[in-house]
Each structure stands twice: as structure tokens, then as C-alpha cells.
Structure 1
Amino acid sequence: MSKILTKSDILAADDLKTETVDVPEWGGAVIVRMMTGTLRDAYEASLMKRDGDGKYRVDTVNMRTKLLVQTVVDEAGRALFDGDADVLELAGKSSAAIERLFIVAQRLNGLAPDSVENAEKNSVSGPSDASTSASPQPSA
């Protein structure tokens, strides 16, 4: 059995993996890092837009560069980009370079389409179709 972690253990863990990606279109390499919980929430919120009826809908405009703004860092781990102005500027760069970095950022952050499937395969118990909750299930 694994060690039961304390609050100090969890907060001291170096758990933000990085990956360096060659970007020949830009003449070098870029470091992509996993997001913190706060950054992931900000990214997901940036993909939602309220329409005229007050309902939220997914807004995929600049979705790739929004993710890169949250995940591209310098060698010291500091964000290279900041805010909406950088999203728009970065969106004007090579789509091939953006896509290459986006794929890495998706994978590192569990956002790739096959991430859930892979997590389920690697899970000890895997997800169950049956609910163990006492809450009533919605009717079909």
C-alpha cells in the first residue's frame, strides 16, 4: 500500500511536468507545462460565453492559443504570455506551430480526446456504470 500523504507532502510535491517542443517555424524550442488547478479553471472559463438569453455556450475562438497562454513558460517556469492581448497576437502566428504546441499542452493536461480513455485503462478499478449515490437518477 502507498504512503498516505499529508497536507505538507501534497503541497511540497513538484507535480507540474514540462515538455520542451521544437518549433522550427520560430527558430527554437518552447517549454510547455501542465496547468495548475487555477490556470485550468481560467482556461475552461475562457471557453464559455454567455449568449443573449443568458445561457452559456462553448466559444472555441482562439481555443488553441488560449491554452498556450496558460501553458507556455520560460526556463524558470514563469508564464511567457499574459492575457487576451497575447492570445490575439499568438493567434496570428503559424497554425502548424500552434497546433504542435497545442497537442502537447492537451496531452500534458489531460485534455486530449483519448485522455479519459487512457485514464480509465490505467485506473485500478475503472469507472462504473452504476451509481453508488443514494441520489435519485434522472429518468430517460
Structure 2
Amino acid sequence: MALNRDAILGAVDVQTEKVDVPEWGGDVIVRGLTGDELDAFQGSIRQFRPTFDGKGMEAVLIQEGMRAKLLTKCLIDEAGERLFTDQDASALGAKNGSVIDRLYDVAARLSGLSEEEKEALEGNSETATEGAASTSSSPETSAAPSPNS
């Protein structure tokens, strides 16, 4: 049976999951993002800038605070209200990295981020940096000196 407009718009389809966080002394509720929220999140961590040769534009992922930024949108209370505002991302990001990463994985899954998108956002694939300049602030390693130097 094909769904009609009202059935689709009336469906409660945003998932939630309770996650035990022993490091914090209890459970948190993680909610997946809506389509609009997911688009806004993905847009907020991408920056477009001119290519090195100045002939085009490239998308660069801004990974700093990315996990906490997603979690501020996805951690909710029993009534379904957000626990954090977008401005709380930095404070939340200062919490245990292992916990933040674990909760990020749940939020990403509930929000429909595919493994490929998740890897690209985390910078673990060629897609994330293909054609983009590095955003790392660490210097590149140099080759070992030759025996003749």
C-alpha cells in the first residue's frame, strides 16, 4: 500500500537511543537528526575556498569540534528537548574524548550518516581530502638524511 502525504508527514521517524555513560554516572538519550538538521550540520563543517591555483573552489572539512557539534544537536532530555545549545560545543568537546567519540558514533548512525560519509567527516578516507589542501597544523615529516649529507 502506497503512503500518502499525510501518512508520510505524520510518521514519527526520528530515532532515539539511551546510552549508558558510566564515566558520567548515568545514561544519556541520543536523538538522530532530521533531514534539515543533518543538512545544516554537514554545511556547518564544510568551508569552500579557492583552489591553490586560484582557478576553482574546493570543499574543506572543518574537523575541529565536529563530534561535539553534532552531539549538542543530538543529546536530549526525557521530554525530547536538547540538553545543549550550539554554543555549548566547545565545553562539551572538553569532556572525555572516548565518551564523545562513542556518543558521536551513535548520533551519526541514528542521523543516517553512512559509513563513507562518517569516514569522510572524520578524515579517514581519500574522499575527505581528495583535491583539498591539508587542514593539519602539524608539520610534514622530512625524509631521512642521505648517507652523503
Q: TM-score, normalised by structure 2?
A: 0.68
Are 2:65 and 1:67 aligned? no
Are 2:78 and 1:45 aligned? no
Higher relative contact order (CA 8 A, sep 6+): 2
Deviation readout 1:69-122 (Å, 9 max, x if unpaired): 121111111111111x21111001111110110111122122251699xxxxxx
Q: How far off is 1:24 after superposition?
A: 1.1
Task: State the secondary structure of the residue aligned to 2:79.
Answer: coil
Q: Which has the larger radius of gyration?
A: 2
State the match for 2:83 in structure 1: 80
Q: Which amino acid aligns with 1:50?
A: F
Unmatched runs of 5 consecutive residues or more in structure 1: 117-140
Cα distance in 2 for partners of 1:57, 1:101 equals 24
Cα distance in 2 for partners of 1:94, 1:112 equals 25
Deviation readout 1:31-67 (Å, 9 max, x if unpaired): 0111111110111011112336664311111111111
Q: Which amino acid aligns with 1:65?
A: A
Cα distance in 2 for partners of 1:25, 1:88 equals 19
Cα distance in 1 for partners of 2:113, 2:9 equals 23
Root-mean-square deviation (CA), in Å?
2.1
Cα distance in 2 for partners of 1:64, 1:115 equals 14
Q: Which amino acid aligns with 2:12?
A: D
Q: Which amino acid aligns with 2:33?
A: M
Task: State the secondary structure of the residue aligned to 1:5.
Answer: coil
Cα distance in 2 for partners of 1:115, 1:17 equals 19
Q: Which amino acid aligns with 2:62?
A: D
Q: Which moved more, 1:92-101 or 1:104-113?
A: 104-113
- 4+ residue segments displaced more than 3 Å: 50-56
